[in-house]
Amino acid sequence: MRVAIFGDIHGWFEPSQQPTSEYFRTLVASLDCELMLQVGDMCQYRSLARPVYWIYGNNDWPPAIADIEAGRREGHNLRHIKTGQPLLVTAGAETLCVAGLNGAYDPLYSELPEADGTDPAQASFFTRSEIAAMLALQGTPIDVLLVHGCPAGLGLGREPDHAVPALRQILDTLQPAYMFCGHAHFFRYVRHGPSHVYVLAQLQDEYYVLDTQSQQLERIPSHPPARHRART
């Protein structure tokens, strides 16, 4: 299976000021891939030509995602993966089990037992109950795990913001075939036990295509089309 994976999408390209979300929509419509995944900080929730399975990050707005899921806001083909609820995605003869943890780490919110709904900003950060929901998947064969942050102790970035002990615990417990990490805005790779762990650069820099048969990940530089000014 060919799988497209996108890092953080927020921002725009210089000097054209073209929103990165426009380029993202173009890629989704044109890439020759059977599955598309995104690791959070999508930020622009517009309809897409094909399904994209994703988690939200610290710059996303969960109330808008809830509105899309309830039909109060348009957002076709945005397939939000809920924390602790793995999905089976089939393309041809191959089926992948995809799971994800929504939100990023925050030293205040992530130590709470669970979200209480009183602070809208809190929804963008995971809590202890959400970590427990992921750990409860132990024994489930996870092919792809999406997180918005990096597991601690693997040399993947500053700790505990980019590299988080709870994400390392989830990685060690679930042992997915692949773990894709957002939030850090740079590319890193490490093999940890049976898992291929990739930290993804933001879409302003590059995007990725994984061939699950060869287990090769291709890094593709982003080249948004130039905008042309109308003649006066």
Give per-10-residue mean pLDDT for the chain (232 aa). Answer: 97 85 96 97 95 96 90 94 96 94 91 74 89 97 98 88 92 98 96 98 97 97 69 40
Which residue ranges form the domains of the chain, and what is each CATH number?
30-221 (3.60.21.10)
Report how far apart, in Å, the C-alpha atoms of 106 and of each of 85, 149, 188, 192 are: 22, 11, 22, 25
- pLDDT (0 to 100) of residue 120: 67
Tokens of 188: 């890193």
- pLDDT (0 to 100) of residue 118: 67
Q: Which residues contact 148 (CB under 8 A, 6 or more apart)?
A: 39, 40, 41, 55, 56, 57, 58, 101, 102, 103, 104, 181, 182, 183
- pLDDT (0 to 100) of residue 117: 63
- pLDDT (0 to 100) of residue 8: 97
pTM higher than 0.85: yes
- pLDDT (0 to 100) of residue 14: 81
